[in-house]
Structures are given as C-alpha cells and as structure tokens.
Amino acid sequence: MMLLRKTFLTVYILLVAHQLSAGDVTIIDSRHYSNVFGEIRNFRVFLPPGYYDEPQKDYPVIYFLHGWSQRYFGGINAPFSDMGDSNEGDNIGRFVSENEVIVVKSDGYNRSPDEEYNRRPYNIGPVENHRQFPIYFPELIEFIDKNYNTIPDRNHRAITGLSMGGFMAFWIGGKYPHMFSAVGNFCGSPEFFVGPASMPVEYRHMDMYGNYEGMNVVLHYGNRDFIRAYHLDMNKIWTEVMDNYQYRIYDAEHVTAGLGDMFSTFMETFDDPPPKPRRWHHIDVYPSFSVWDYTVDSDRLLPGFTIIENVDERGFRTSVRNFLPDGELMPFVRVNVTTAPLYEKNQYYTVNIIDLESGEAASKRIMSDGKGRLSIETNGGLNEIGIDRTGGRANPGIASVEITSQLWITPHQDTDIEIRLFNKGTGEARNISAEIVPFRENAVISSGSAEFGTIPANGISGSSRPYTFRITCDTVMIQKFRLTISDADGNSWTDYFEIPVKVNAPEITDFVIADGAEVTVARAGVDSITMVLGHGNGNGRANPGESFVILVKDEGLYRRTELYTNDPYVNPHGIHKRGSDGWGRYDNVGGSNKYSIPLVSSECPPGHKIEFFATWWLPDYPDHIIKHGRIKTEVSGSDQTPPLVRWVTVSGDNTIEVKLEDGSGIGRARARFISTSEPEKSFVVELYDTGQNGDRIAGDNVFSRTIPERGFGLHNIEIEAEDLYGNETFYADPSVFVLY
C-alpha cells in the first residue's frame, strides 16, 4: 500500500480499527481526538478506487450523518449496511465505487462513558447534557482535510443524513453555509429541541430558510415515510421563498431514498458550485457564533434565537427572539457583531443604528482594526445598522410591512399593505419610489408602486399610498415579494419581504376560552391532559389584562389553537407567547402543534370584538390534518388580573433582572433577597425599567437593579409587583441565587 500524501502526525490521533475493500472501495473505521468533547471520536471513511494509486489527487467530500439506533459503522444489527445489497444496492459503497469522491460517516453517539447507553444520537429532542454535536463538526472537517486527500474548501464539500441525521445535516449545513456548497436530507425529522443544555429551544427547519443562501439544498423522502406530512408542511414554505431548494418523493418508506440521485446532485454542485451570496442572513440557537467570517457574540442566558439579516458591506439587521418566526424580542440582551475584514484598516467609519420598533436612531464613529474589521455593539431589539466612510450616501431598505385593509391575507381578495422604508445612510435618500414584484407567480399586482419623498439620514418614511395585490392560488401559505427602491439620482436598491397567507376558512362558534382555569385538552393527538391554561380569573370570557388559550372541540377533544391577528388590542408592549403540544408520543417524529397565548390590552374597551385566524391539528396516522377557522370573541369587564412574572435572573455582577407581563404596564416592582443561611438578614430593593440603576433598556418590561457588593452568599428571591390598575402579584422563585 502506498503511503498517504497527508501523513498522520501522531499515532493516537488516528487509530485504524479495521480496513476492508469492496468493489475497489476502501472502507476505514477510524478515530481522532476531539478537543470539543474531550474524548476519542469515531468515524468511517469511504475512499474511492485508485485513491492510493494517485497520491497527488485530491477529492471532494460528502459527510453523512446516521439516524436513530445507528452508529458510524451502520445499523446495530447490520454493521456493514453501507455496501452490498442494502437499500437495493443504492448505497454509499456503490456510489463511491463509481465516483471520485470521499464519503465520511461521523458517529452521532453522544453519551459520556459514565452515562447509560442510548440509541438516540446527537443529544437532541430532548437536550440532556452539554455535549453539542454542531460545535464539534468543524473539528471533524479540519481533521479529515489534514489527514486525507481532500479538496479542502466549501465548493467541494456537502453534508447529508438520514432521519435524525437528516435533521442534523440541515441544521449543521445551515449553521455553517461558509463550509458547504450543498446540503441534503433523507426523511429528516422537521424539528427538535436543541441547543445549550441550560436553554434549549424548538428548532424548526421550516423557519430557517434564510440560512441557506449560497447553497444547493435537497430533500428526499418516500411516499410511505411516516414523516411525510411534516415534509409536505415544510415544502409549502420553502418552495415559495427559496430558489435553491428541490425535493424528490420516491416509492419508498423511511430510508435513504434516491441516495445515488442526491449524491449525483452533490457532484454536479462540486463541478459548478454556487458563489458566496452578496447579501446573506443567519439565525442561530447559540448566543455566539461565526458565519461568513463574521462573529456574533451575545450575553443571552435565555432560550432564543440570535438573528443577523441582510448582511453586506453597507450594514445589516440584528435581533434576538424567543421563538420563530415572530417571537418576542429580547432588547435586554447585548449583541456585538465583528464584521469580516471588508474595510480599510485603522480608519473611522460612521455607523448608524436605527431601532425599528421605536424609530430612535444613533450615530457612532468606529475605527476599523488592523485587519479591516469593525466591532459594532447593539442590543437584542430589532436594529438596522448602516456603515459608511465616505459620507453623504443614502442607504434605504424595508423597515416594516403592515396589512391595512384586513386582518390577514386571504386568496382571491384584494389586500392593501403599507410599506415603511428606513434610510440608514449618512446622506438624504432623495425622491424615493419603490415597486413590488411577486417572487412566484401566485399574486397579481394592481397597485405596485408608491412614492416615499425624501428620507433623511436615520429617518423612516411611509408610502404615499398603499400597495394592492391579490393572491391567486388557494394553497399558497406564504407570499414573497421583491421590492426595488429607486432615487432621483438613478440609484437603486433591492430588498425582499414575506407575508403569511391564510386560507379561506369557516367561522367557528363552538370554542372555549381558557383564561386561568383548569381544563382537559388533547395531547399528542389522541391522548389528553388536565392543566391550567392562560392567566386570568378563569370565567371563560376574555377580559382586559388577561392572557388565554382558545380551545376548539374536534373529534371529542378540546384542541389548543395557534392564533393570528393584527388587532391593536392584542399583545401590547411587544409581548408574544406560544406553547407547544409535542406529538412525539403519537407519531415518533419530534414535531409539535403550536398554540398561542394572546394577551388582551388593559385599554381594550368593553364590547370590542377580536377576530382570530385559528389553526389546530387532528391525528390521521401517520399524517396530521391541519384545520383552520375564524374565531370572534367579545371583550368584557375590566382589568383585574395581576402582573405575571415570566422569569428571574441574577448575573455575575449582582444585577437582578425580572421579566414582568401585564396588559397595562407596571407601576411598581421590588425584590426581596432572603439569605439561605441567615434568613433574618433579608433585604428589599426597588426594581426599575428606566434604563438606569442597572436596567439596560427602558420600557422593555424587564425590571432590574444592580446590587452593591455584599460578599458571597446564597439567596431565595421573592417578587412583588403592581400594575397601573392596582392589581398586585407575589411570586417566590424556586431557584437559589448567588450574590457576590
């Protein structure tokens, strides 16, 4: 055997467990040491015919991630199922024997030696420990590139997987688009709880389409796959908003359907890789991450998603949300973005930051570093950042899109929307006009252009008249538009936006409002559970200041509903809550039926009727039926609901933060610290939401206070709060907190 051109530097890094050949394919089961996991990790590598005969030849690489109950060596009871007659011969071994490519199968087993053996890989759904497989994966790629004859760039690298491995392939591919030119998925689950063990979130691929700019994306599944209904749900979204996505349905069950077809698509991608996108977007479950040579750091300690959008040399948008796509913002989180080295070295740049929620703007002078990077600090609110050095240039884009003619978009009805534009540049945007065009041929535009006048630097302006269009397709769930912005000097800018579309649905009159009462509801499709839903007086009527869940009785059980409305009296102060009814016990998939918990403003007048578009699921194994209806409820009474404490944290600098929720606003909040060792030495502090005394952001319903140094000690915390209507709450947090 000829020696590899890339030699192994130390014996313990690569330990060959066994090596065999089949059809001139060399299969090596091997290991390497992982600094991320602090242990030896296994993998299997498939080397094509002639690999050892041409030591100067380099090959593209496909990474494959296995599914539940499998390992890197194959199924538990079929250790070499990657070759031979498995999957009717459409397998990895056969493909590598006919193509000049390396395939690497990583080991998804994710338990420490002292933990009980578990067939569920990757530490997802649920998250049980700190071991984060996506953080490890770049380390594996680096090792493979150093020790095998690979073409070590994104243009010649793809990732795919089966089932749970398919979920992981989409997640890892979307997390590292700068490392892969193509990503695939065989029968992958649609969503799982993932992320840091202390703050896992529901990660749903349907919401993550913005992560795949500059990649070819492929999904394969069988027409008898028990997960197929979830794939259908996702396809209704991805096909409407992505032009780099394709899916294929095979006459198959839950297998690597069309493996050779998908791998051939990857090989075509390697021959003609998509370029790096000129403008890109990224969403990450981790508080800090790197992508496209940008680094995003935050101090987020709560479950959520850190988002950076519309990134190019002239700026970007940032936000942090508790869920996707439209979850509550977290402005109290610090976010620092370090750009790629795109700028002149050691030069001052003007950085404009516009808060798109409040309209407030600020300008900063920031010097680039010796590599041409800028470090820009903002917060977890919805912030638009503009970057300019020369001065005097306009930089417009979409600030918001709002439906003005109705509560939501329905097919075959004219819809009016108002678009507001920002100008994050340093000069005026003069005589601005903008025109919309549908991304797909599912809409007819009857009024597609409008004037915005002159928008000053750091300004926001609405359109002179509404845009009007009509959705022409009954089945479309989301509509994407391209907006072309032009000014008086012949400059133009392009932006995009998406709007959800709701099907025509009947009015539902048989429903229950759960506003703090104990109710028995459906769980996982066919099961049931008795629980308290909502926060209020429990009388079954919507009152000002209450939050509730709307239940629809269908097939003998009350079903929790996901609700949509743009009523101005719903979810004041940016509050937005959602729950999940996991269906894993029923269909073994990992998806969940989402349900809304809307809050009624305390200022909502009695007699006001709120209309919701409601969605709920029904079981039809292995599918789920998605049903829709319109629900109207009348608000009565007055606000008698006390504030709700959502969470309490104490940071290392002795700052307490308390998230409060109320339909009116909080008039007073205080915290009592009770020493666990000397209870008599308790003390009380007032909490503020004014942006002072340790509070980061004024008016975000996070009440804070920095405690002077008191010496190390453990404390229990009790919260007292009163809203503007005099309703009082008392909350004793079950956790133990540290003060220094």
Instruction: Indicate the average pLDDT of the chain.
Output: 93
Is the confidence at residue 240, as pLDDT, over 70? yes
Q: For the beta carbon of residue 504, count every other beta carbon within 10 angstroms.
A: 11
Strands 334-338 and 294-298, sheet pairing: antiparallel
Q: Report the Cα 282 to chain-centroid distance in Å.
A: 9
User: CA-to-CA distance for 722 and 89, rounded, in angstroms?
Assistant: 69
Poorest-pLDDT segment among 57-61, 81-85, 141-145, 263-267: 81-85
Once rounded to an integer, what is the mean pLDDT over residues 115-128?
A: 90
The model's confidence at residue 711, banded by pLDDT at 50, 70 and 90, is confident
Once rounded to an integer, what is the mean pLDDT over residues 582-610?
A: 95
Q: What is the pTM of this model?
A: 0.94
Is the confidence at residue 5, as pLDDT, over 60? no
Going across the sheet that includes 289-291, the strands are 289-291, 294-298, 334-338, 375-379
> What does the DSSP assignment read for 534-596?
SBS--SSSB-TT-B-EEEEEETTEEEE-EEE---TTBSGGG---EEEEE-HHHHSS--EEEEE
Give 18-271's CATH code, choosing from 3.20.20.370, 3.40.50.1820, 1.20.1740.10, 3.90.1150.10.
3.40.50.1820
Is the confidence at residue 8, as pLDDT, over 90? no
Once rounded to an integer, what is the mean pLDDT over residues 719-731?
A: 97
CATH architecture of 644-739: Sandwich (2.60)
Once rounded to an integer, what is the mean pLDDT over residues 361-378?
A: 97
Could you give phi then psi for residue 86, rounded to 5 degrees? -65, 145
Query: For residues 355 and 691, is the Cβ–Cβ distance under 8 A?
Result: no
pLDDT of residue 23: 62
Share of the chain above pLDDT 70, in %: 96
User: CA-to-CA distance for 668 and 670, rounded, in angstroms?
Assistant: 7
Is the confidence at residue 638, as pLDDT, over 70? yes
The model's confidence at residue 6, banded by pLDDT at 50, 70 and 90, is low
Give the 3-state DSSP-derived string for 369-389, with helices as H, strands as E and coil as C.
Answer: CCCCCCEEEEECCCEEEEEEC
The C-alpha angle with vertex 41 and arms to 52 and 152, in degrees rounded to 5, equals 45
Once rounded to an integer, what is the mean pLDDT over residues 236-243?
A: 97
Is the confidence at residue 84, as pLDDT, over 90? no
Poorest-pLDDT segment among 10-19, 325-334, 603-612: 10-19
Query: For residues 176 and 137, is the Cβ–Cβ distance under 8 A?
Result: yes
The better pLDDT of the pair 525, 286 is held by 286
User: CA-to-CA distance for 50 and 28, rounded, in angstroms?
Assistant: 15
* Residue type at position 270: F
pLDDT of residue 21: 52
pLDDT of residue 1: 35
Once rounded to an integer, what is the mean pLDDT over residues 27-36?
A: 96
The model's confidence at residue 22, banded by pLDDT at 50, 70 and 90, is low
pLDDT of residue 89: 84
Give the 3-state DSSP-derived string for 29-70, with helices as H, strands as E and coil as C.
Answer: EEEEEECCCCEEEEEEEEECCCCCCCCCCCECEEEEECCCCE
pLDDT of residue 378: 97
pLDDT of residue 117: 87
User: CA-to-CA distance for 582 and 592, rounded, in angstroms?
Assistant: 4
Share of the chain above pLDDT 90, in %: 89
pLDDT single digits (tens) 509-524: 999 999 999 999 999 9
Exposed/middle/buried for residue 85 (C-beta within 10 Å: 0-12, 13-18, 19+): exposed
Helix 164-175 crosses helix 133-147 at what angle (to 10 degrees)? 80
Once rounded to an integer, what is the mean pLDDT over residues 437-459?
A: 96
pLDDT of residue 276: 95
Q: How many helices (H) and strands (E) does the chain have?
A: 6, 50
DSSP 733: -
The better pLDDT of the pair 652, 113 is held by 652
The model's confidence at residue 81, banded by pLDDT at 50, 70 and 90, is low
Poorest-pLDDT segment among 39-48, 85-94, 454-463: 85-94
Is the confidence at residue 100, as pLDDT, over 50? yes
Percent helix, strand, coil in the chain (nearest 5)?
10, 45, 45
pLDDT of residue 12: 35
User: CA-to-CA distance for 734 and 376, rounded, in angstroms?
Assistant: 37
CATH superfamily label, 396-500: Immunoglobulins (2.60.40.10)
pLDDT of residue 76: 57
User: CA-to-CA distance for 242 and 236, rounded, in angstroms?
Assistant: 11
Q: Report the Cα 29 to chain-centroid distance in Å.
A: 35
The model's confidence at residue 88, banded by pLDDT at 50, 70 and 90, is confident
Is the confidence at residue 11, as pLDDT, over 60? no
The C-alpha angle with vertex 562 and arms to 560 and 565, in degrees rounded to 5, equals 135
Half-sphere exposure of residue 732, counting CA atoms within 13 Å on the CB side? 4
680: alpha, beta or left? (left if phi > 0; alpha if psi -120 to 50): alpha
Q: Which of 89, 259, 37, 54 is nearest to 158 (CA)?
A: 259
pLDDT of residue 686: 97
Q: For the beta carbon of residue 196, count every other beta carbon within 10 angstroms.
A: 17
Is the confidence at residue 259, as pLDDT, over 90? yes
Q: For the beta carbon of residue 655, count every other beta carbon within 10 angstroms.
A: 16
Q: Which of 59, 268, 272 is nearest to 260 (CA)?
A: 268
Once rounded to an integer, what is the mean pLDDT over residues 101-114?
A: 92
pLDDT of residue 111: 86
Is the confidence at residue 466, as pLDDT, over 90? yes
Once rounded to an integer, what is the mean pLDDT over residues 308-337?
A: 97
